[in-house]
């Protein structure tokens, strides 16, 4: 099959393209602003990329057009369509589908799908779960909205048992002995781990992406209000999460964060599968100890120890979710915990970009106020109470651009010693939002309208030994490299 992907350079659609190519399909695609690293990765797979959404691409004559949710029926100021290729597809009556629908029909069909949903931690927990199954010899397929450092790629078809040397897990002599619980379930399906996003599927299918995946194991990691551009309130998102729960079979498992009232409301609407909870003292899976080294309790009994390089309570909860989900695939908690000891995290999750004169610069994907707060908490636990943390962030997500959560920013930044906000392109006043912290030179918060101005502010305030944490769900104007160059000068 030849598929042509509209919006191919997005994280999800780029991963889908890689899966389709690995499965033997011919893949071409288009996007606006085709640029590295995704463009390089796709071209390395033999995928032809076309700049823009011109109607002339009909000449490719693919068997199916796969439409990303970046595509719409919008028109420009002069009345011309923003996506002329989509208009041409509709006018010609040619076959098209969404990315999630194509994935469900051509990759996920017949697999044991383990789907990880939640407002926060999806990418990290999905990566943890895939790595646990890999180390258990189950060689899962996966699609992650980031690059797990253990695998080096964001997507893989997988399937079948691992062969010797196929994984970079600990060698067999260092692994936990195989346990009966490690055997795959009797249904014989191969495993596929997927990051399950609640954002809408396409302009012609406004359901959340994850309703297409039909998981046997569903992780509900957490849930709070986000995506203010498409959801009116938290209840609307809870409704979509319940749609996901409705798709899990009676022989499946729903793994749910026991600390979240919103998820309790979701399950109260009805659940027809086995439920395993994590996080709370009374949950099926809980943790005792600091996030960097803790015991895993199952129904109050110690079943495993996690000793790893990650920090933060949020990652401790992510680990419990992954362990509980892996159990449904037959992996014992002790084996899962040992795999997590080798887990290297995900690119752009507390990633150290460089160090100059004892000043460390980090890159993180945090962009929601809760994610900013938990990321800062993790770094604070890692560096201690005496070290200074400089939080550098840009409100770039659709929700943050709308200003829906601007009042939460001072709360989210409480663990930072200084905060620097890039306010370029915002329709609301960042200085006013951060006023409770004190704004201006010599105060706790500063605001800049350009990246260069922001770098200058940080350079004037930084001291040897400081930790500079840059947080954005985008490229942040290359601020990491600019900071490191400024610090060297």
The sign of the CA dihedral 445, 224, 147, 377 is positive
CA distance 320 to 293: 13
pLDDT: which is higher, 347 or 313: 313
Q: What pLDDT score was predicted for residue 170?
A: 54
pLDDT value at 65 more than 50: yes
CA distance 259 to 277: 9
Share of the chain above pLDDT 70, in %: 93
Q: What pLDDT score was predicted for residue 128?
A: 96
Categorize the per-residue pLDDT at 175 as very low, low, confident or very high, splitting at 50, 70 and 90. very low
Q: What pLDDT score was predicted for residue 163?
A: 45
Q: What is the mean pLDDT of residues 214-243?
A: 87
pLDDT value at 379 more than 80: yes
pLDDT value at 113 more than 70: yes
**pTM value?**
0.81
Q: pLDDT tens digits, residue range 289-317? A: 999 999 999 999 999 999 998 888 889 99
Q: Torsion angle, CA of 123/128/129/131, rounded to 10 degrees?
A: 120
Q: What pLDDT score was predicted for residue 35?
A: 64
Q: Name the least confident of 52-66, 98-112, 411-425.
A: 411-425
pLDDT value at 459 more than 80: yes
Helix pair 234-246, 261-268: axis angle to 10 deg = 50
The candidate with the shortest Cα–Cα distance to 249, out of 115, 418, 152, 81, is 115
Q: pLDDT tens digits, residue range 120-174? A: 889 999 999 999 999 999 999 999 988 898 998 889 999 865 544 444 565 444 4
CA distance 463 to 295: 37
Q: What pLDDT score was predicted for residue 420?
A: 96
Strands (E), 209-310: 217-220, 253-257, 274-278, 285-290, 293-298, 301-307
**Contact between residue 471 and residue 391 where contact means Cβ atoms under 8 Å apart:** yes
**Contact between residue 158 and residue 192 where contact means Cβ atoms under 8 Å apart:** yes
- Beta carbons within 10 angstroms of residue 311's beta carbon: 20
CA distance 323 to 186: 20
Q: Name the least confident of 140-154, 321-335, 397-411.
A: 397-411
Region of 303 please: left (phi>0), alpha (psi -120 to 50) or beta: alpha
Site of tokens 């009994």: 301
CB-count exposure of residue 480 (10 Å: 0-12, 13-18, 19+): buried
Q: pLDDT tens digits, residue range 353-368? A: 999 989 999 998 877 8
Categorize the per-residue pLDDT at 431 as very low, low, confident or very high, splitting at 50, 70 and 90. very high
Cross-strand pairs, 391: 419, 469
Q: What is the mean pLDDT of residues 52-62?
A: 97
Q: Name the least confident of 49-63, 77-91, 174-188, 400-414.
A: 174-188
Q: pLDDT tens digits, residue range 230-277? A: 677 889 999 999 999 999 999 999 999 999 899 999 999 999 999 999
Domains of the chain: 2-98 (3.40.50.720), 110-340 (3.40.1190.10), 351-488 (3.90.190.20)
Q: What pLDDT score was predicted for residue 348?
A: 76
Mean pLDDT (the chain) is: 89
């Amino acid at each position: 099959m030849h598929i042509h992907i509209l919006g191919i350079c997005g994280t999800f659609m780029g991963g889908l393209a890689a899966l389709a190519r690995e499965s033997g399909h011919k893949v071409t695609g288009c996007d606006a602003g085709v640029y590295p690293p995704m463009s390089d990765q796709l071209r390395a797979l033999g995928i032809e990329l076309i700049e823009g959404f011109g109607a002339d691409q009909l000449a490719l004559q693919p068997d199916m057009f796969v439409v990303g949710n970046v595509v719409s029926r919008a028109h420009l100021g002069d009345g011309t369509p923003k996506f002329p290729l989509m208009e041409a597809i509709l006018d010609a009556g040619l076959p098209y589908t969404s990315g999630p629908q194509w994935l469900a029909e051509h990759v996920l069909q017949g697999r044991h799908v383990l789907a990880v949903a939640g407002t926060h931690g999806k990418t990290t927990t999905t990566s943890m779960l895939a790595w646990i199954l890999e180390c258990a010899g189950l060689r899962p397929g996966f699609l992650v909205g980031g690059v797990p450092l253990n695998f080096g790629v964001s997507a893989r078809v997988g399937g079948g048992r691992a062969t010797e040397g196929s994984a970079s897990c600990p060698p067999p002599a260092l692994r936990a002995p195989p346990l009966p619980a490690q055997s795959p379930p009797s249904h014989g399906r191969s495993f596929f781990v997927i990051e399950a996003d609640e954002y809408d599927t396409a302009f012609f299918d406004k359901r959340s992406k994850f309703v297409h995946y039909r998981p046997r194991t569903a992780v509900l990691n957490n849930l709070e209000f986000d995506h203010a551009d498409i959801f009116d309130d938290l209840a609307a998102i809870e409704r979509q999460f319940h749609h996901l729960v409705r798709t899990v079979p009676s022989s499946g498992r729903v793994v749910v964060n026991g600390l979240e009232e919103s998820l309790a409301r979701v399950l109260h609407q009805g659940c027809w599968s086995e439920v395993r909870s994590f996080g709370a003292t009374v949950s099926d899976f809980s943790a005792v100890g600091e996030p960097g080294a803790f015991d895993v309790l199952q129904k109050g009994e110690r079943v495993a120890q996690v000793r790893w390089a990650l920090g933060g309570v949020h990652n401790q909860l992510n680990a419990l979710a992954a362990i509980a989900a892996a159990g449904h695939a037959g992996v014992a908690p002790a084996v899962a915990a040992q795999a997590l000891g080798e887990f290297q995290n995900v690119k752009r999750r507390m990633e150290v970009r460089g160090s100059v004169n004892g000043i460390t610069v980090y890159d993180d994907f945090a962009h929601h106020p809760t994610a900013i707060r938990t990321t800062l908490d993790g770094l604070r636990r890692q560096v201690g109470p005496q070290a200074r943390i400089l939080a550098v962030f840009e409100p770039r997500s659709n929700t943050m651009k709308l200003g829906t959560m601007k009042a939460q920013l001072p709360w989210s930044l409480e663990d930072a010693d200084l905060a620097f906000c890039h306010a370029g392109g915002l329709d609301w006043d960042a200085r006013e939002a951060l006023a409770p912290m004190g704004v201006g030179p010599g105060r706790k918060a500063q605001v800049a309208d350009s990246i260069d101005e922001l770098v200058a502010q940080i350079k004037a305030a930084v001291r040897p030994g400081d930790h500079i944490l840059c947080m954005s769900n985008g490229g942040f104007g290359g601020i990491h490299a600019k900071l490191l160059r400024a610090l060297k000068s």
